[in-house]
Structure 1
Amino acid sequence: MTDALSPGAAARLLGVAPTTLRSWDRRYGIGPRERSPGGHRRYSPADIARLRELCRLVGEGVPSAEAARRIDSATRTATVPEPRAASPGGPVSLSTVAVPAREQEHTPTLQGVARAAMRMDSDLVEHLLQAAVERNGTVATWEDLAMPLLYGMGRRWEDTQRYVEVEHLLSWSVSSVLRRVPAPPSAPGPHVRPVVLACVPHEMHSLPVEALAASLREAGLAHRVLGPCTPTDATVRTVARIGPRAVVLWCHTSGEHDAETLMATARATVRAPERTALYTAGPGWRDAGDALRFADGHLGSLAEGVRMLSG
């Protein structure tokens, strides 16, 4: 059994404690079906697949006993596909686990995604967020799941100086899901004037810009993303080159030259051959003072941003 894992290796792969695996095996019979020649427990890829499905259900808020019952029922009526593993301890994709149709209707919960993130299970985090996007859309997933989770992890780090690795994993998972949001079949062609999304020069916190980009793509609205720490000259040149119908300047934390960036961008929009609106977004603009009069408005939320940019 070259693909079999020891209890410790299985626990590390799944992101749970070895005692949890023993408890699931003792209480619900969801455990290894094989033993080594010496009588030690060994987890096959099929065992890992069942346990990953148990982790997924528990992460979505299903009680452990009920989750185990469902897995046992599914196992009796259908064979759980055995995932291919390149080497012992290799990652098991959630896509290889047979999920009953009734389970696909279960709505991911904030608590479930948080539990998966704390276990460092990025596959499950992305699976749950992807399901939320498909069910509720990008705006609702960002505002009801991703943003509260990121805020909560940030506060936890501030309070304890721990779990920064969880925050980084969660940010990467959210970004990965946002990048996969598809455009509708009727997406606009390259001739349509886009919306330009840019951060101010010092701003590295660009995940909300990715959320706005994904929401615009989902709505079929053309856009161009310049990303974090965009130099002011780069934003100005972009306005001159492509004549966008709107520019959004994102600022999460206020900086010394934010007002200058705003005014320089405003001058570029005035010189554009066609009307180009200019919007600010993010809490960092609170200290911009009189410079805000150069903008056409402030996008206070993702939903508001999509609504205003759709007009």
Structure 2
Amino acid sequence: MSDALTPGAAAHLLGVAPATLRSWDRRYGIGPSERSPGGHRRYGPEDIARLRTLCRLVGEGLAPAEAARQALEARCGSVSGDVAPTAEGSPSSDRLLPAEEGQAALQGLARAAMRMDADLVESLLEKSLLDAGVVVAWEELARPLLYGMGRKWEQTGTYVEVEHLLSWCVSSALRRVAAGPAEKTSRERPVLLACTPREMHGLPLEALAAALREAGSPYRVLGPCTPVEATLRALRRLGPRALVLWSHAPDKDDGAVLAAAAGAVSGAAVDTAVFTAGSGWRDAAGPSGVAGGHLTSLRDAVAALLSGR
């Protein structure tokens, strides 16, 4: 009984309204099964596990009634359990998201993020990364959702905590993407990924790193706010086959950063292609004929960096 929760505490834990719990109990029979010494109904660990499963399945796009049926039949309701089966009853291996499935997954992620259910957000992201691959999961799910939350914050000043939680969950899921088979044995020179000195947001670089890892391509990430000197030293030490400089917010000094990188690679013993990425480079003038090009999307970046390997 010591682990049993009141309806209010259970709702708080799950990130749903108490009225939602009452509705699920009344409609689907997923409710508290224990009672306090005073006769008040309480949610035990098994009740909470079933409710977590229901939340996960609804987040994946199932109708509440079907999600409740599956939750009641499940032997274990842990959010961190195995990947949920698709409608056909087996995990998807098509590595794509049809329009309806993608919309359901996006809505499920948004609902889980708004409830601040980090376990469910990461579980849904990991399923999408496994089923669809990094590029599709980023471009069709994570990026649109992050953009939407950012816009909501800019327009209303609210939900900043949701955006921060979502960013952390996306980062965590991306870093758990399995490495392709070539990464452990390949002697290929790495790709170097760095932000410009004043760029604090490096999540798109983490997505690119995950996509390269998925493809078995070696890389090194220097992350947000990389000093110019650190990028230049890394270029000299690693001799990478490519450098990607990320800038989301325009900065008048970005052109100088690119020029410094171009100067560092021009006299090097090995060839290094220099790429720019991010909207911050729209107005930056880099040295002509030096940069490998501007990468406009994750798909574009992966294709460019993996070509000619």
- Residue 60 of structure 1 deviates from its aligned partner by 1.5
Is the counterpart of residue 110 in structure 1 residue 106 in structure 2?
yes
- Residue 68 of structure 1 deviates from its aligned partner by 1.3
Is the counterpart of residue 242 in structure 1 residue 256 in structure 2?
no
Q: Once the two structures are superposed, what CA deviation does each residue of 1:33-66 show, in whole Å capped at 9, x if it has no partner?
A: 1111211111111000000011111112211112
Q: How far apart, CA to CA, are the structure 2 residues paired with 1:278 and 1:172?
A: 29
Alignment partner, residue 36 of structure 2: 36
Matched position secondary structure for 2:80: helix
Is the counterpart of residue 95 in structure 1 residue 80 in structure 2?
yes
Q: Once the two structures are superposed, what CA deviation does each residue of 1:179-232 show, in whole Å capped at 9, x if it has no partner?
A: 111112332547431110000000001000000000000001111100000011
- Residue 69 of structure 1 deviates from its aligned partner by 2.0
Find the partner of 2:258 among 255, 259, 262: 262
Contact 1:203 1:253 in 2 (8 A): yes
Alignment partner, residue 46 of structure 1: 46
Find the partner of 2:173 among 171, 177, 180: 177
Q: 1:98 to 1:239 in 2, by over 3 A?
A: closer
Q: How far apart, CA to CA, are the structure 1 residues paired with 2:86 and 2:160?
A: 36
Identify unmatched segments of 5+ residues in structure 1. Answer: 82-92
**Count of aligned positions:** 296
Find the partner of 1:297 among 269, 293, 300: 293
Deviation larger for 134-143 or 191-200: 191-200
Is the counterpart of residue 307 in structure 1 residue 286 in structure 2?
no
Matched position secondary structure for 1:94: coil
- Residue 150 of structure 1 deviates from its aligned partner by 0.2
TM-score (norm 2): 0.91
- Residue 122 of structure 1 deviates from its aligned partner by 0.5
Q: 1:34 to 1:221 in 2, by over 3 A?
A: same
- Residue 291 of structure 1 deviates from its aligned partner by 4.0
- Residue 115 of structure 1 deviates from its aligned partner by 0.1
Q: How far apart, CA to CA, are the structure 1 residues paired with 2:181 and 2:132?
A: 19
Deviation larger for 94-103 or 146-155: 94-103
- Residue 174 of structure 1 deviates from its aligned partner by 0.1
Q: 1:208 to 1:5 in 2, by over 3 A?
A: same
Q: Once the two structures are superposed, what CA deviation does each residue of 1:12-35 show, in whole Å capped at 9, x if it has no partner?
A: 110001111011101111011111
Alignment partner, residue 201 of structure 2: 205
- Residue 104 of structure 1 deviates from its aligned partner by 6.2
Alignment-mate amino acid for residue 242 of structure 2: A
Alignment-mate amino acid for residue 233 of structure 1: E
Contact 1:277 1:296 in 2 (8 A): yes
Alignment partner, residue 24 of structure 1: 24
Alignment partner, residue 124 of structure 2: 128
Alignment-mate amino acid for residue 141 of structure 1: A
Alignment partner, residue 288 of structure 1: 284
Q: 1:100 to 1:307 in 2, by over 3 A?
A: closer
Q: How far apart, CA to CA, are the structure 2 residues paired with 1:222 and 1:212?
A: 12
Q: 1:30 to 1:123 in 2, by over 3 A?
A: same
Q: 1:292 to 1:119 in 2, by over 3 A?
A: farther
Q: How does 1:137-286 map to 2 (within 5 A)?
A: 137-189=133-185, 191-286=187-282
Q: How far apart, CA to CA, are the structure 2 residues paired with 1:181 and 1:191?
A: 21
- Residue 293 of structure 1 deviates from its aligned partner by 4.8
Contact 2:51 2:71 in 1 (8 A): no
Alignment partner, residue 11 of structure 2: 11
Alignment-mate amino acid for residue 307 of structure 1: A
Contact 2:14 2:117 in 1 (8 A): yes
Contact 1:50 1:97 in 2 (8 A): no
